[in-house]
Chain A
Amino acid sequence: MEQKTKITAEDGKHDLLITREFDLPLELLFKAYAEPEIIEQWMGTKVLKLENKKHGGWQFQTSDAKGNVVFQAEGVIHAFVPNQKIIRTFEMGNASFGVQLEINEFEKLTEDTSKINVHVIYESVAQRDQVLKLPFAYGINMAHNRLQDFVIKLK
């Protein structure tokens, strides 16, 4: 299956762009970012807090079967414009990846298709590259077997 997600990360820059087109109406795509129960399903993490408004905060947390917290991330929402835009900061707990600024733009293509542009700005080039090098840094919030897949590739 063709991968629809595109990543643009130019050498020596401290940002990157993720774009993706969906076979979904704009309203449904935006809903997937706005409703905690839906976020929990596709992000594979627990949503402890999500205040969808300017100056609101958000907090995600993932625990393993024994209840140990394996992933934690939090941030502040700077803009929340339904069906258009979510601007928020993102910081991972217990990690040295700094704070990211995430500009999520939602776009209507047709009645049944839509697109998201995610512009992520990191504190430095080095930090961006660290995050890029480490899909498993994010992967920790996913199922354990995704981490296993990654390790198999490393071997």
Chain B
Amino acid sequence: MNLRRDVFQAIADPTRRTILLLVASQTMTAGAIAANFDTARPTISKHLQILTECELLRQEQTGREIYYHINAKQMKEVADFIEPFRNMWDARFNKLESIMKKYKSKK
């Protein structure tokens, strides 16, 4: 098994997480992505290759440029986007509630 194709391995790296974040806000060329880092360009290319191999990113050729996209097919409608966002807040608030309930009982 090629370990590099493991998504968990892919997102364990902070540079790759930052790349995902950048590309998620807009499609970008490798050059534009690399411009956000002090790291050498070939290093960023390697990261992009790993992210592409594990299908977190997908490449699209436009003219002479290759653009990187986030590969998130189901994220088509705003309504769909809201659900994970809401889940995130719900989990966060659940945690707040349970922490404060314990806090209350301690007193």
Chain A residues with Cβ below 8 Å from B11 are 144, 147-148, 151
Contact B85 A132 (CB under 8 A): yes
Q: Which of A78-120 contact B (CB under 8 A)?
A: 94-97, 116
Bound Cα distance A149, B82 (Å): 16
Chain A interface extent, by class:
35 or more
Residues of B within 8 A of A11 (CB): 78
Interface string of A25-60 (1 = CB under 8 A from B): 100110110000010011100000000000000000
Contact pick for A137, options B14, B21, B26, B89, CB 8 Å: B21
Alpha-carbon separation in the docked complex, A20 to B25 (Å)? 28
Decide if B97 touches A23 in the complex (CB within 8 Å). Answer: yes
Q: Are A5 and B81 in contact (CB under 8 A)?
A: no
Contact A139 B89 (CB under 8 A): no
User: B87 at interface (Cβ–Cβ under 8 A)?
Assistant: yes
User: Which chain B residues border A5 with CB–CB below 8 Å?
Assistant: 86, 89-90, 93
Q: A7-B86, A18-B89 are in contact. Are A134 and B7 (CB under 8 A)?
A: no
How many residues of B are counted as interface, with CB atoms below 8 angstroms from the partner's CB atoms? 40
Tell me which residues across on chain A come within 8 A of B100, comparing CB atoms: 22, 24, 28-29, 31-32, 38
Is B64 among interface residues, defined by CB-CB distance under 8 A?
Answer: no
Determine the chain A residues whose CB is within 8 A of the CB of B1 once the complex forms.
none
Residues of A within 8 A of B89 (CB): 5, 7, 18, 20
Task: Evaluate whether A129 and B71 lie within 8 angstroms (CB atoms) in the complex, with A95-B21, A144-B12 already known.
Answer: no
Contact assessment for B88 and A24 in the assembled complex, using a CB-CB cutoff below 8 Å: no
User: Nearest A residue to B12 by beta-carbon distance?
Assistant: A144
| CB of B71, distance to nearest CB on chain A (Å) | 7
Q: Spell out A's residues near B (CB within 8 Å).
A: 3-7, 9, 11, 18, 20, 22-25, 28-29, 31-32, 38, 41-43, 64, 68-70, 94-97, 116, 129-140, 142, 144, 146-148, 150-151, 153-155
Q: A38-B99, A155-B55 are in contact. List 18 more A-B contacts (CB 8 A).
A: A18-B89, A22-B93, A24-B104, A32-B100, A38-B103, A94-B18, A96-B22, A133-B24, A136-B20, A136-B21, A139-B88, A144-B11, A146-B88, A147-B17, A151-B7, A151-B56, A154-B56, A155-B7
- Enumerate 8 A-B pairs (CB-CB under 8 Å) in ascending A order: A3-B90, A7-B82, A7-B85, A42-B96, A42-B99, A133-B81, A147-B11, A151-B8
